Structure 1
């Protein structure tokens, strides 16, 4: 039996189990089965996945994300904010600006701090891509895949594809509570056009600075929030004429609100909170 020290955190309800590899060392082969075991709500702790906080030569710290099915994600906006809060509040990186490396690249972090705690986290999420090779998708490359007809389960929907650390298929709906999240989310995620699967977002435009948002995450299913998805939703809203570049857009997720801005230089900025839930020890039987 292995005793695994962990911290559970959430970003707007999107909750992961965090392991501090600055202070602990585990076999690399352990992480996939450990993510599945710990994320199990009945026999484990219960979470949307497992996040490793580690040292790296290319940034101030590194982050790896394993979904609850064991698949490894390239990035996660909510996990980034949680890692930023963790390393600041726990004294690993006691400064208000630093960098975090993920599988998809390096993200720049800026913290608002009060009483020694990070209260709000702003992260440069990088620049979006629209090419089919970036998603990746099957079929010929298209410079900007905007509002493209998409057939699934006998229905024709229109999607906008955005790659921003993770692949996102964004669909605009009239009423967010009527979005086919549970009926079509998994089918879109695993559609043959997406050989590496995709995150699925349904968006209702409230006005040019507000969006309602629901998500089916690749490898995790329905979650309370998705940071890269919220960023992708704002990008999709801008290219479809619903929102404007270089303006703050409030995205209303099931778990709370994020502020997203796609600036004139092409970078997408995400601002939002993160919170600790608990520290604990998981007794892992290999």
Structure 2
């Protein structure tokens, strides 16, 4: 049976939405990996599969391009919310994820804002392999760790342009301290309301942006006392806004756009 999809992006952070409401789940690890191949498949940073849900407008399951799963994806959550809001002609949507129930709203500018839930700050919640203070970790560069449903490790640097992300990122991602691997952030603080962020993404390499990484980086900067509670996060692909009062939920706001829709060829499905 043909498999339809929507290709979307949030400031260049590209993702694919597969609508599996009223149909069986078509995605396996191998299928996600084939679809994520930018030469032989569709190509994406993340894949979100949309299912029916009894207590929300839909349920989402997320995949990385390497065929691994993840519990949170801020960009694809906003993309799925945008799709559902347009379908229902509403300005809000509630989405069930492994992270919990996430509420989304369309702002007056057309951007999508999502309540990403409370950050997880304890060492066992990130998770880390050893008990330690996640605020200033005993690694070179003294990064800060948290979880937004997926692990985040944030380095604060003086000159972002001098950081060799493709060299440093993979080693930190796979450090034994992170049993589930980790997203790696490199942050240059412009001022207390504005940061530049570049990312080594767990299972994905260097993206133009990431919703959950933007949240993790802002949360860790706020925890360190370096940032105010509302931060503009400037990634290579554009800007999102992250708000966190230091206690409750994190709110992520930014644009999403549909690039194209299509149907996957039978040959890829059979592979």
Give your verdict on TM over 0.5. yes
CA distance in 1, matches of 2:142, 2:164: 13
**1:35 and 1:49 in contact (8 A); partners too:** no
Aligned partner of 2:30 among 28, 33, 36: 33
Local SS of the residue matching 2:2: strand
Deviation at 1:24, TM superposition (A): 4.0
1 or 2, which has the higher strand percentage?
1
Unpaired runs of 5+ residues, structure 2, are none
The corresponding residue for 1:63 is 60
1:179: how far off?
2.0
Q: Which residue of 1 aligns with 2:176?
A: 192
Q: CA deviation at 1:149?
A: 2.8
Q: Work out whether 1:135 is the aligned partner of 2:126.
A: yes
Query: SS of the residue aligned with 2:107?
Result: strand
Q: How does 1:6-25 map to 2 (within 5 A)?
A: 6-25=5-24
8 Å contact 2:47–2:76 — kept in the other structure?
no
The change in CA–CA distance for 1:230 and 1:45 in structure 2 (over 3 A counts) is same
SS at match of 2:122: coil
Give the drift of 1:42.
1.3
Q: Counterpart in 1 of 2:156?
A: 172
Q: Which of 146, 158, 162 pairs up with 2:146? A: 162
1:265 Cα shift? 4.7
Q: Are the aligned partners of 1:17 and 1:51 in contact in 2 as well (CA < 8 Å)?
A: yes
Q: Tell me the residue number matched to 1:256.
A: 238
Instruction: Report the counterpart of residue 112 of structure 2 in structure 1.
Output: 121
1:153 counterpart residue number: none
Q: Say which SS state the counterpart of residue 112 (structure 2) adopts.
A: strand
Q: Deviations over 1:137-159 (max 9, x none)?
A: 111253xx212231xxxxx2211
Cα contact 1:96–1:113 (8 A) shared by 2: no
Query: Which residue in the other structure is 1:244 paired with?
Result: 228
What TM-score does the superposition give when structure 1 sets the normalisation length? 0.89
What is the alpha-carbon distance in structure 2 between the residues aligned to residue 11 and residue 228 of structure 1?
12
Taking the aligned partners of 1:157 and 1:73, their CA distance within structure 2 comes to 26
Coordinate RMSD, CA, aligned: 1.6
- The gaps in structure 1 that reach 5 residues or longer are 151-155
Q: Could you say if the C-alpha distance between residues 202 and 264 of structure 1 is closer, same or farther in structure 2, counting changes exceeding 3 Å?
A: closer
Structure 1 residue 183: deviation in Å? 0.5
Q: Is the 8 A contact 2:17 2:76 kept in 1?
A: no
- State the shift of 1:235 in Å: 1.1
Once residues 23 and 7 of structure 1 are traced to their aligned partners in structure 2, the CA distance between those partners, rounded to angstroms, is: 17
Q: 1:129 to 1:19 in 2, by over 3 A?
A: same
Cα pair distance change 1:242/1:26, threshold 3 Å = closer
The CA deviation at 1:10 is 0.6
CA contact under 8 A between 1:206 and 1:212: conserved in structure 2? yes
Contact 1:125 1:164 in 2 (8 A): yes
